[in-house]
Amino acid sequence: MDWYPSADEDLLLRTSARFASGMSVAVHGSRWFRDTERHDIQDELPGWPEGPAYALHSTGDRAVRRTGRALAFGIPLIANIIANIGGAMGSPFGDVPVYGKPEEPENEVDDFPVMWAAPDTLARTAPWQLDPARRPKGYLTDLVLTSRRLLFLGNQTATLAKADVLAEYPRDAIAGARQMTYSEVEADIRLTFSDDSWIRLFTGNPDSAKRVAQILSGTVQAVPESELSPGQRKRVAKFLAELPADTPPPSFTRLPSGIVMVEARVPSKAGKDVHDTHTILMGRDGERAKPQPGDL
């Protein structure tokens, strides 16, 4: 593995993460960095390299993009559904729509800020490598949650080098996270800091977005691997042996009934920065378990 937690903390979740991109026709493929007056602040962010300047798409552009959007997403989505007939777990799309319903038209239809930050707020310290338009080619970024902090890591694709720690924040600096369903495969989250500034990230899978939001809001209990029973560890080892060797460490969540959900995230061929989620449920001794009412 390219990064390990410190001895005084437990790894809870690791998922891909980058600044999101607009889905609505007028803002499609765009992202802006704003202060609370909606001024563009990307030139004010210390250490950031120059990035592209976006503008709302014209009426003519919108007609073209409506057709292009159907072609870009319709074919992979149909192919994905066919490939996963039978309800196989692990689909990056599954049965969720590519687009949800706009929750905040002012931030999703008329504009698309991925950073909302007054001067001297924490969102302005987010690393520039999260921007796919700025980071080096083949460079990937991850969000990591541990028992005491949130980190952003970066590394070059297909290397075993130690990951770059791009930024880290104590858990009490994070006020919460929210899954934003009006997004590519419903995989965006809005990460809000304790000073009310926020960033919007694409996590590659709706399961990842949901889990980050649940852990940070306290609605589910993340379980460190150190708390698994011997039987559960044996089951997890068998589960991981069936996945690619470079699969990142899985996350563990204790559901209300007490059973443990194990989720492993594997890079998908369905798209860049998209990953499949492979899941198992297990009881106290690692035996197969079924979700109970209220679990999922």
- The reply to whether CATH 3.30.420.130 applies to domain 11-219 is no
DSSP 157: T
- Ranges of beta strands (E only) in 106-259 are 113-116, 139-146, 149-156, 164-170, 174-180, 188-193, 198-202, 221-222, 251-254
CB 186: neighbour CB atoms within 10 A? Answer: 21
**pLDDT tens across the length of the chain (296 residues):** 789 999 999 999 999 999 999 999 999 999 999 999 999 999 999 999 999 999 998 755 544 444 444 433 443 333 333 333 333 334 333 334 456 789 999 999 999 999 999 999 999 999 999 999 999 999 999 999 999 999 999 999 867 789 999 999 999 999 999 999 999 899 999 999 999 999 999 999 999 999 999 999 888 899 999 999 999 999 999 999 999 988 889 999 999 999 999 999 998 877 677 889 999 999 999 999 999 998 87
Domain spans in the chain, listed from the N-terminal domain onward: 11-219
Scanning 119-276, the segments in alpha helix (DSSP H) are 206-217, 230-241
Longest CA–CA span in the chain (Å) reads 61
pLDDT of residue 199: 98
User: Parallel, antiparallel, or unpaired: how do β-strands 260-267 and 275-282 relate?
Assistant: antiparallel
Scanning the chain, the segments in alpha helix (DSSP H) are 59-83, 105-108, 206-217, 230-241
pLDDT of residue 116: 98
User: Cβ distance 10 to 160 under 8 Å?
Assistant: no
| Distance of alpha carbon 184 from alpha carbon 259, whole angstroms | 31
pLDDT of residue 61: 55
pLDDT of residue 212: 96
The answer to pTM > 0.95 is no
Among 155, 232, 209, which residue's Cα sits nearest to residue 1? 155
pLDDT of residue 99: 63
What are the backbone dihedrals phi and psi of residue 53, each rounded to the nearest 5 degrees, phi first? -100, 125
